[in-house]
Copies of this chain bind each other. A is one copy, B any other.
Amino acid sequence: MSCNLRVKFNHMEFKNPIVAASGTFGFGEEYNEVYEVETLGGICSKGLTLNAKEGNSGIRLWETPMGILNSIGMENPGVKEFVRKELPKMKKYNTRIIANVGGATEEEYLTIIEELNDTDLDMIELNISCPNVKEGCMAFGIHEKSAANIVKQVKRICRHPLVVKLTPNAENIVKVAASCEAAGADGISLINTFKAMAVDIEKRKAVFENVYAGLSGPAIKPIALQMVHEVSKAVSIPVIGMGGIMNWKDAVEFIMAGAHLVQIGTVNFVNPEAGKEIVLGLQNYMEKEGIKSIDEIRGIV
């Protein structure tokens, strides 16, 4: 095999561009019973907060036409428990490990980063884009100023490479991306879920206790792709693209639109073996087309 799937993300190499998206893959353990998760280029942890979080009550999931609405509300064991219990298990997989970090306040973000500084993580994904918690998180990602500010603070202390995960609900996602770059981000990932909702017409009530929830899945792919395309052209740091990727063809679309890496989320629920299949599909495609390196096709659209 003469093609290779390796991707350079700044100075760090990923064995292939397919990464499991935060919140859809746990800490990898369950999926490792389905296939060897180190087949993937990387794994993002569930979003971590400082303290353990119970998550939202009420219904947490609603299916929509080719999409899903979720309102998990960042249920997670807290960063300390992550470092103690989950990270050592994750590090056994021969793949890149990314910690997704969410917070309600600047202080919370900074404390989490400190807790993670001395671990052997590969990367931090700063989640300023979760629509399912009442305080903070997505609020930081709406405006370029608040985004730049939190990134600057975090960069000051963070010893790991820092990717900032953006929300499609940003007022101007291109400006937010550019301001994160200017504030020192090492990469941008996008998109998190869309603020969206459903109504239960029988109960005459919103389906979710929080009223709004986050939309993901193939339904949003055309919008996600557009945003990845526009952001990739606007920044010079590498971009991680995601939103509705269901198969290797979708992954190629995102790469051609400019993504260095892509993340797969909802598809893991649709087909738990998707990660493996997408890596294989991509390899197959590159061999058939005689593409020796992903650099040849990245951003050609």
**Contact residues of A with B, CB < 8 Å?**
64-67, 69, 171-172, 194-199, 201, 204-206, 211-212, 215, 217-223, 225-226, 229, 244, 246, 249, 252-253, 256-257, 297, 300-301
**Residue from the set A198, A201, A215 with the largest chain B CB neighbour count within 10 Å:** A201
A204 is contacted by which of B204, B212, B215, B256 (Cβ under 8 Å)?
A: B256
A206 is contacted by which of B64, B205, B301 (Cβ under 8 Å)?
A: B301
**Least Cβ distance of A248 to chain B in Å?**
9
> Are the CB atoms of B199 and A257 closer together than 8 Å?
yes
Q: How far is the CA of A194 from the CA of B225 in the complex (A)?
A: 12
> Are the CB atoms of A222 and B204 closer together than 8 Å?
no
Q: How far is the CA of A198 from the CA of B217 in the complex (A)?
A: 15
Q: How far is the CA of A66 from the CA of B196 in the complex (A)?
A: 16
Q: Could you name 18 residue pairs across A and B whose Cβ atoms are closer than 8 Å?
A: A64-B218, A65-B221, A66-B218, A67-B222, A171-B171, A194-B223, A197-B222, A198-B225, A199-B225, A199-B252, A199-B253, A199-B256, A201-B249, A201-B252, A204-B300, A205-B301, A219-B219, A219-B220
Which 7 residue pairs of A and B lie closest in terms of their CB atoms, listed nearest first?
A196-B222, A219-B219, A65-B218, A65-B66, A171-B171, A66-B66, A199-B253
Considering only CB atoms, which chain B residue lies closest to A69 in the complex? Answer: B222
> Are the CB atoms of B67 and A201 closer together than 8 Å?
no
Main secondary structure of the interface of A (DSSP, over half): mixed
Q: How far is the CA of A65 from the CA of B215 in the complex (A)?
A: 14
Contacts of A220 in B (CB 8 A): 219
A196 is contacted by which of B172, B204, B211, B226 (Cβ under 8 Å)?
A: B226
| A197 touching B218 in the complex, CB below 8 Å, given contacts A66-B66, A204-B256 | no
Contacts of A223 in B (CB 8 A): 194-196, 215
Contacts of A219 in B (CB 8 A): 65-67, 218-220, 222
Q: How far is the CA of A30 from the CA of B198 in the complex (A)?
A: 33
